[in-house]
């Protein structure tokens, strides 16, 4: 193969399928990952297949004669540009959703605290509240008792004069 033909072919995204002969021209085909854009009777130029963007998926893989066809992922799914995946359903995994999924990212989940832990916390809070109320009532009663003792009139024994 002529070195000049090789550089022209490689630079245009093509490879030689059949070298030229006395009776025929060189036959070129696109390199892997390229498709032919100038096809009269022989591929003269090729372009690299398009890449799908995040949020899209490859609907039709590119061939040597056609570019990649991308489409948008349906609602409830996401993609990095190759194929769509459903968002993780955190609740079905007994987890809490930290952030909802988007067309390009999955949902983020977090472990839930065990249900008995919530019950325990509520019970401890209830007992502490009850103890606080009891202590306040006792303090108020003691103060009332002390105050009532101070406010009593002092009575001195009355004596009769003989």
In CATH, what number is assigned to the domain containing residue 16? 2.10.50
* Token pair in block for residue 25: 């021209």
| Contact indicator for 87, 77 with CB cutoff of 8 Å | yes
67-91 pLDDT per residue, tens = 999 999 999 999 999 999 999 999 9
The more confident residue out of 144 and 104 is: 104
Total domain count for the chain? 3
Residue 44 shares a structural domain with residue 60: no
Q: In a 3-state reduction of DSSP, which class is residue 160?
A: coil
C-alpha distances in Å from residue 81, one per residue of 70, 85, 159: 9, 11, 109
Query: Does 161 reside within a domain?
Result: no
Radius of gyration of the chain (CA): 43
Residue 103 shares a structural domain with residue 141: no
In CATH, what number is assigned to the domain containing residue 79? 2.10.50.10
Residue 123 shares a structural domain with residue 82: no
18-35 pLDDT per residue, tens = 888 888 888 888 999 999
- Give 125's contacts (C-beta < 8 A, 6+ positions apart): none
- The verdict on pTM exceeding 0.95 is no
* pLDDT of the residue at 134: 94
Confidence bin at 1 (pLDDT 50/70/90): very low
Query: Does 152 reside within a domain?
Result: no
DSSP state of 117: H
Query: Does 104 reside within a domain?
Result: yes
pLDDT(96) > 70? yes
107-159 pLDDT per residue, tens = 999 987 666 767 788 888 989 999 999 999 998 888 887 777 665 555 555 55
Q: 61: domain range?
A: 56-111
């Amino acid at each position: 193969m002529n070195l000049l033909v090789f550089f022209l072919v490689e630079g245009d995204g093509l490879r030689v399928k059949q070298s030229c002969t006395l009776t025929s021209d060189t036959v070129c085909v696109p390199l892997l990952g390229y498709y032919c854009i100038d096809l009269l009777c022989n591929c003269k130029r090729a372009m690299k297949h398009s890449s799908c963007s995040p949020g899209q998926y490859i609907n039709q893989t590119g061939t040597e004669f056609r570019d990649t066809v991308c489409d948008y992922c349906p609602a409830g799914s996401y993609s990095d540009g190759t194929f769509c995946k459903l968002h993780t359903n955190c609740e079905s995994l007994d987890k809490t959703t930290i952030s909802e999924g988007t067309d390009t990212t999955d949902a983020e989940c977090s472990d839930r605290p065990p249900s008995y832990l919530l019950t325990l916390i509520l019970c401890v809070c209830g007992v502490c509240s009850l103890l606080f109320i009891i202590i306040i009532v006792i303090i108020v009663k003691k103060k009332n008792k002390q105050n009532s003792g101070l406010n009593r009139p002092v009575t001195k024994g009355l004596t009769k004069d003989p």
